[in-house]
Structure 1
Amino acid sequence: MSPSRQTRKVTLRDVAELAGVSISTASLVFSGKGPVSATTAERVQAAAAELAYAGPDPLASSLRQGRAGTVAVIVEDRLLHAFRDPFALAVLDGLAQELDAMGTSMLLIADHGDAQPHPLAAHAIDAAIFPLCGRTDSPLVSHLLARRIPMIGAGAPLHDGVTHVLVDERGASAAATQHLVDLGHTRLAHVLMPIGPGRPTHRIAVAELEHAAYPDARERARGFLDVADPASPLVEAEQPDVAAGELAGRILLDVAADNRPTGVVAQSDLLAAGVIRAAEGLGLRVPEDVSVTGFDGVDLPWLDRQLTTIDQPGEAKGRLLGDLTRRALAGESPRSEPFDVSLRVGDTTSGPA
């Protein structure tokens, strides 16, 4: 290496000169986006190795393109809860596939709703995605609007500036409830995902739904009440996981037999699995003594049964979120799109004994 190269930063031009190719050809080798022969690519890579050239400066590239090359993926509360939820992982996987195909990086950020200024303010991003259950309102919306950053969501936050993948939460929950009614059940109960942050697992009154912070939990509860007796017991889970579902199940099922519901509609598959655990721990048979339905349609191989549930393909939902993001970044103005879900009958429901 010449003394001059040792005292200054190596550039793509240096690599191209050493390899005996044009700068544009060398650039194609590093981007992987052009037709370059294997022999030429090897020559460029060998020159880069000799000069200890790590590749084009991504910051300079983003400045030239007017893009950061990064999309913020905003997850409510702790990331731990998302990574424990198989449905959330499926959504994030489908989204990651689409972003990878776009050559866009994913910046995963936990939104606790109270950080001021929010950590997102320090990052250059091209778009923001709210892929999972979230609050009706988010302080991030006004911040992102001021930066003119496109926003894509999955039903929350509710704002005209956010383009959504929309599920008929109310109609789907009503369908699961109607399935139990059609089987002959009259004593029903409902296990809700959290309707607000920091709330323990407990019984709630119907009136509390009007103040719910999370629209998906509120709408699924409304769907249940569209079909079930309005006096049916409602239990809100602290988290949409198995442990909280089991506690909710014990609250509902550890009562006298004539007061015990024969059918339980849960707002997630993990909550439904918890209710099944509670039933079995109390010596009750599923579905003979109590039928249970879930929501999401995730694979739970450890449950050792096929859950009756609302099938909501997570990977496909994530891919649609990514597609809306791609269209927004291409300069389009995509509209919110519906996402179809359906009832899938398994072996956790039957007629009441």
Structure 2
Amino acid sequence: MTRPTSRDVAQAAGVSQATVSLVLADKWRGRVSERTAESVRRSARELGYRPNLAARNLRLGSTRTALLVVPALTNEFFARVYTGAAKVAAEHGFGVVLYPSPDGTGPARDPFASARAALDGVIASSMAAGALEAIRGEDLPLVMLDSDPATVGPAHVNLDMADGMRQVAHHLLALGHRRFLHLASAVDSWTFEVRARTLEQVLGQVEGATLTTVAEQLSVEAGRVAAETALAGLHPRPTAVICDDDILAAGACKAARRLGLRLPQDVSVTGFDDLTLATAVEPELTTVQLPAEQVGEHGMKALLALLEGRPWNAGNLPVQLAVRGSTGPATP
């Protein structure tokens, strides 16, 4: 099948190729009407037209700038992702602008008058592809990190979150634990859905294993309150608390101490991410190490591949359980 060209779009919309170029480069305001611009965009969508990025850069000039969109700056993970992306970008003469979305994982607002005119591409971490529509429009290259591969296509970089949760579950099962509390993140995100689903699948295959799940916001205080309530209210009490994040795990550790429980003799606690916090608590936290910088590095490499018209085929990045003092054998 012949790939549609800008001439095809121009003919379908009844305008010149120059007008098509202006509209798709988002430089039409003050030159053509809103009605004409919408007609061009509609024709491009219907034809499945995608601009030739290499030719576009030759005509319009490349900004050599990428935007990294994250849902928050309160989590150290995203800072590490930025570090990795910026490192690879610098090696190729690119810059990376970090943008914490004001609406978290929800639809992100365009931080510029027009991102499509100011950027060469977008990298987004731990968000849904649909949340980037206002920024990228229809033609700005997009790479998704830690996102549902079923909805974002081939240009994505994921960690093996499912394997990370399997490692946590198998570690605790080997220590004799059968009563589990899952302190889950209340954030509506694919990465947390994978963790919850995997944990349920693994424990569902173990005779005698029980699982109680409590979802809470990602903060130490929220984790403390939720864990304290659950540990005090469940009978028999869970012997292990599996947390979606090290921040929640720190709250669970505080809850155990306030209830007079010893870690790990009375209750074991695990985290996820291996933030600096994981080795700042006592005992140090058993947690899943996520190579966040590698995520950023691969994300930038994937964007460069898109810009150069090369395919991107990279499997999930492996993760590793770091066993520390917060887990131990189960007690009756």
1:225 to 2:200 alignment: yes
Check the 8 A contact 1:269/1:298 in 2, yes or no.
Answer: yes
Contact 1:163-1:336 at 8 Å conserved across structures? no
Q: What does residue 177 of structure 2 align with?
A: 185
Paired with 1:95 and 1:252, the residues of 2 have a C-alpha distance of 40
Contact 1:237 1:248 in 2 (8 A): yes
Q: CA deviation at 1:236?
A: 0.8
Name the structure 2 match of 1:94: 84
1:174 equivalent in alignment to 2:151: no
Counterpart selection for 2:130 from 107, 122, 138 = 138
Conservation of the 8 A alpha-carbon contact between 1:164 and 1:337: no
Unaligned runs of 5+ in 2: 1-56
Alignment of 1:124-135 (within 5 A): 124-131=118-125, 133-135=126-128
**How far is the alpha carbon of 1:145 from its aligned partner?**
5.7
Kindly state the Cα deviation for residue 155 of structure 1 after the two structures are TM-superposed.
Answer: 2.8
1:127-276 matches, cutoff 5 A:
127-131=121-125, 133-135=126-128, 137-141=129-133, 144=136, 146-147=138-139, 149-156=140-147, 158=149, 159-161=151-153, 163-196=155-188, 214-229=189-204, 232-239=211-218, 241-255=219-233, 258-276=235-253
Q: Work out which of the residue numbers 57, 70, 74 in structure 1 matches 2:69.
A: 74
Give the corresponding residue for 1:352: 330
The alpha carbon displacement at 1:142 in A equals 8.0
1:278 aligns with 2:255: yes
Q: Which amino acid aligns with 2:211?
A: S
Amino acid at match of 1:227: V
Task: Answer yes or no: is 1:308 the counterpart of 2:303.
Answer: no
Is residue 293 from structure 1 mapped to residue 283 from structure 2 by the alignment?
Answer: no
Tell me the percent identity: 30
CA contact (8 A) 1:174 1:226 kept: no
CA distance in 2, matches of 1:266, 1:177: 11
For residues 135 and 79 of structure 2, what CA distance do their matches in structure 1 show? Answer: 27
Shift of residue 297, structure 1, vs aligned partner: 1.9
CA 1:168–1:157 in structure 2 vs 1: closer, same or farther (change >3 Å)?
Answer: closer
- Offset from partner CA, 1:172-217 (integer Å, 9 cap, x none): 2122012111100111111112243xxxxxxxxxxxxxxxxx1111
Deviations 1:68-105 (A, max 9, x none): 221111122xx4xx2x2222222221122222222222
- 1:205 counterpart residue number: none
Q: CA RMSD in A?
A: 2.5
How far the C-alpha of 1:64 sits from its partner, in A, is 6.8
Rate the CA distance shift 1:85–1:93 in 2: closer, same or farther, 3 A.
Answer: same
1:305 partner letter:
P
Distance 2:196 2:112 in 1: 33
Deviation at residue 238 of structure 1 after TM alignment: 1.4
Equivalenced residue count is 264
Contact 1:191-1:267 within 8 A present in 2 as well:
yes
Shift of the alpha carbon at 1:225? Answer: 0.8
Letter of the 1:340 counterpart: P
C-alpha separation in 1, matches of 2:107 and 2:83:
27
Moved segments of 4+, more than 6 Å: 62-65
Higher-Rg structure is: 1
User: Helix, strand or coil for the counterpart of 1:333?
Assistant: coil
* Distance of 1:337 and 1:104 partners within structure 2: 25
Mapped partners of 1:224, 1:273: distance in 2? 20
The CA distance in 1 between the partners of 2:238 and 2:261, in whole Å, is 12
Counterpart amino acid of 1:69? R
Amino acid in structure 1 at the alignment position of 2:95: S
Aligned partners of 1:70, 1:233: CA distance in 2, in Å? 46
Task: Show the counterpart of 2:27.
Answer: none
- Structure 1 residue 302, shift from structure 2 partner: 2.8
**Aligned residues of 2:82 and 2:98 also touching (Cα < 8 A):** no
Deviation of the 1:65 alpha carbon: 6.9
TM-superposed CA distance for 1:226, in Å, is 1.5
Unaligned 5+ segments in structure 1 are: 1-61, 197-213
> What is the Cα deviation at residue 157 of structure 1?
5.6
Equivalent in the alignment of 2:6 = none
Which residue number corresponds to residue 93 of structure 2?
A: 103
CA contact (8 A) 1:294 1:307 kept: yes
SS of the residue 1:276 aligns to:
helix
Question: 8 Å contact 1:174–1:227 — kept in the other structure?
Answer: yes
Q: CA deviation at 1:134?
A: 2.0
Separation in 2, partners of 1:143, 1:314: 24
